[in-house]
Amino acid sequence: MSEHPVIELRHVEKHFGELHVLKDINLSVARGEVVVVIGPSGSGKSTLCRTINRLETIDSGEIRIDGERIPREGKNLARLRSQIGMVFQSFNLFPHRTVLDNVTIAPVDVLRIPKKQAREEALRLLERVGVGDQARKVPAQLSGGQQQRAAIARALAMHPKAMLFDEPTSALDPEMIGEVLNVMTELAREGMTMLVVTHEMNFARRVASRVIFMENGSILEEGSPESFFTHPQTQRAQAFLQSIQDH
Amino acid sequence: MSKTKKPSIRDYLYEPPGPRTRTWIRVGTALALGLIAALVYAVIHQFAVTGQLKAKYWSFFSRWTTWRFIGQGLLTTVEVALTAAAITFAAGFLLMRGRLSRHAILWRLSAGLISFTRGVPTLLFIYFFFLVVPRTGVKLSAFWKIALPVAISACGVVAEAFRGGVNAVPRGQREAALSLGMTERRAFYRILFPQAFRYIIPTLIAELVIVLKDTTFAYIVSCADLMQNARVLISNYDALVSTYLVVAVIYILINYGLNRLSENLAGRESRRKTA
Ligand SMILES: Nc1ncnc2c1ncn2[C@@H]1O[C@H](COP(=O)(O)OP(=O)(O)OP(=O)(O)O)[C@@H](O)[C@H]1O
Ligand SMILES: [Mg+2]
């Protein structure tokens, strides 16, 4: 048992040119924790998420995965990235490959798992997220909800230590949101360490161990879902929750 | 598979025409066809008047040796074109990799070579290989004196076509590949380039047509390609118009074939994607 947080950010700063997008971000996610990040558009949630596997570089501060500092580049960076699953708003399945290939390609290429074994495991994972019967199709033939669930299976196939979700349901038709959230809830219950950017407040209430409220590049508030949703401390958080309820 | 007509790019770019537009299209088509027919008639008539249709200009085409000679030239043309195409595609690929590289020196060098080869006319490269290279003591056969310059002159355009295709692949594809632990290189070869290829095929085939046309400069270096052999026939039989007509038809047929190939490949790709 390691006592390191699975994900740890210390004094992380990030600029896009003049724009200060991440301001002294300190955050750690322990094993099995589900941290939900909420906040208004442009507050830096996606950027935060993407710095964790270095899809965005940072200006200063440090980021550790399971105690190990993220390398700047090369094979070691790739290895560390492979330990963190990422689920994108726009699914980003590989359109030129079948759903099954999407799930096996990285385990075979990166982890060097034998093809046959990778296929068996992929089918099990696809079954688990409820798209086992779609394995031989190409992504374009699946509904949005099915694609996103396949994308989750693809990330799980790498046996990640943690999963990052950046608004996984924002591109979905309302009737498909539930099926994706169900898969995520199931994952959380099985003990997966997760960092989830989402506007789904019910999911946050039910599943989050901790809620983080971001605005303008800073973490303004952090707490359990009960305390955050019932007694938000800052006026900004109160206003944000109000604005969401009005919708 | 359904037998319905596969949608072409036109169907995406334009609304289907209404009844009135369709009438106009029909009138326009009829007019254009009439005009072309008139033009063809005028040309043939003019040939007849100037005596170009006389038997002496055409009878040597009934000889087997004439066609063998044309066939040999055609074979050389195809060999030169395929060799030049293979070289230009390989060089174009390398230049594209350099152009997309993060190393400043590689990047600049590739960008410079791409602009240079795109900016200089093919003919200058041919003269370079014809006049300058031999003086350096390097001995090249006529075959390479035409294949190399044609390849060099096309490779910049090919590199840019490759780059355009790679850049057309959505950003998220690279990010998804990286997030799965692929290195940049693996992500490129496994995920980005196979997808880019779909966008690139039509340009590559268009470039193949240009390469084929450029090989007609082979006579400058005395490489016995289709064009050079045609010139021999012309001087032997004093039959300029008839020979050029036959040769033009051959070139048109080849390029038409290439265009059909391009359409077929593009069609198959789009069918596979939505299959
Ligand atoms: N590559 C980039 N270059 C420049 N500015 C960027 C870039 N990516 C994001 N930004 C800017 O950084 C800020 C934070 O963006 P980010 O995407 O992290 O916000 P977000 O909280 O995820 O918003 P949303 O809810 O709209 O997804 C925004 O102002 C955005 O315009
Ligand atoms: Mg975002």
d(CA A26, CA B158): 48
Residue B54 has a pLDDT of 83
d(CA B122, CA B101): 27
Write out pLDDT tens, residues A49-75. Answer: 999 999 999 999 999 999 999 988 888
Nearest CA in chain B to A158: B180
Residues with CB under 6 A from ligand 1: A 16, 19, 21, 39, 41-47
Instruction: Give chain B's length.
Output: 275
Q: What DSSP line would sit under B82-137, residue for residue?
A: HHHHHHHHHHHHHHHHHHT-S-HHHHHHHHHHHHHHHHS-HHHHHHIIIIIHHHTT
Helix then strand then coil, in percent of chain B rounded to 5, is 85, 0, 15
**A27: helix, strand or coil:** strand
Domain residue ranges of chain B, discontinuous segments joined by +: 69-274
Please, how many CA atoms are within 13 Å of residue A176, restricted to the half-sphere of its CB?
A: 15
- Which percentage of chain B shows pLDDT scores above 70? 92
Write out pLDDT tens, residues B133-168. Answer: 999 988 899 999 999 999 999 999 999 999 999 999
Buried residues in A20-55 as b, exposed as e (16+ CB within 10 A): ebbbebebebebebbbbbbbbeebbbbbbbbbbbbb
**For domain B69-274, which architecture applies?**
Orthogonal Bundle (1.10)
What pTM was computed for the model?
Answer: 0.84
Write out pLDDT tens, residues A80-129. Answer: 999 999 999 999 999 999 999 999 999 999 999 999 999 999 999 999 99
Q: State chain A's mean pLDDT as an integer.
A: 94
d(CA B125, CA B146): 9
Interface mutation vs chain B, best among A81, A154, A161, most B CBs within 10 Å: A81
Out of A18, A47, A170, give the residue to mutate to test ligand 1, the one with the largest number of ligand atoms within 8 Å of its CB. A47
* Residue type at B109 in one-letter notation: L
Residue B30 has a pLDDT of 94
Specify whether the CB–CB gap between A15 and A57 falls below 8 A. no
This complex has an ipTM of 0.94
Specify whether the CB–CB gap between B146 and B221 falls below 8 A. yes
The angle subtended at Cα B27 by Cα B21 and Cα B31, nearest 5°, is: 140
d(CA B146, CA B211): 11
Q: Which residues contact B250 (CB under 8 A, 6 or more apart)?
A: B70, B74, B226
Nearest CA in chain A to B189: A109
Residue A38 has a pLDDT of 95
Specify whether the CB–CB gap between A84 and A68 falls below 8 A. no
Q: Which residues in chain B show pLDDT less than 70?
A: 1-14, 269-275
Residue B1 has a pLDDT of 41
A112 touches chain B (CB under 8 A): no
* Ligand closest in space to the Cα of A88: 2
A115: enclosing H helix or E strand = helix A115-128
Q: Please, what's the largest Cα pairwise distance for chain B?
A: 75
Q: Whose CA is nearest to atom 18 of ligand 1?
A: A44
Write out pLDDT tens, residues A11-40. Answer: 999 999 999 999 999 999 999 999 999 999
Specify whether the CB–CB gap between A45 and A197 falls below 8 A. yes
How many A from CA of A46 to the centre of ligand 2?
Answer: 4
A164: enclosing H helix or E strand = strand A162-166
In which residue are the tokens 């693996």 written? B186
Q: What DSSP line would sit under B180-229, residue for residue?
A: TT--HHHIIIIIIHHHHHHHHHHHHHHHHHHHHHHGGGGGGGT---HHHH
- Ligand 1 atom closest to the CA of A44, numbered from 1: 18
* Nearest chain B Cα distance for residue A197, angstroms: 17
Residue A194 pLDDT > 90: yes
Among candidate residues B116, B204, B125, B122, the one with its CA nearest the CA of residue B163: B204
Among candidate residues A140, A175, A171, A155, the one with its CA nearest the CA of residue A106: A155
Specify whether the CB–CB gap between B6 and B267 falls below 8 A. yes
Specify whether the CB–CB gap between B199 and B168 falls below 8 A. yes
Q: Which residues contact B227 (CB under 8 A, 6 or more apart)?
A: B73, B77, B215, B216, B218, B219, B247
Residue B18 has a pLDDT of 81
Instruction: Give chain A's length.
Output: 247
Among candidate residues A186, A224, A221, the one with its CA nearest the CA of residue A204: A224
A81 touches chain B (CB under 8 A): yes
How many A from CA of A42 to the centre of ligand 1?
Answer: 5
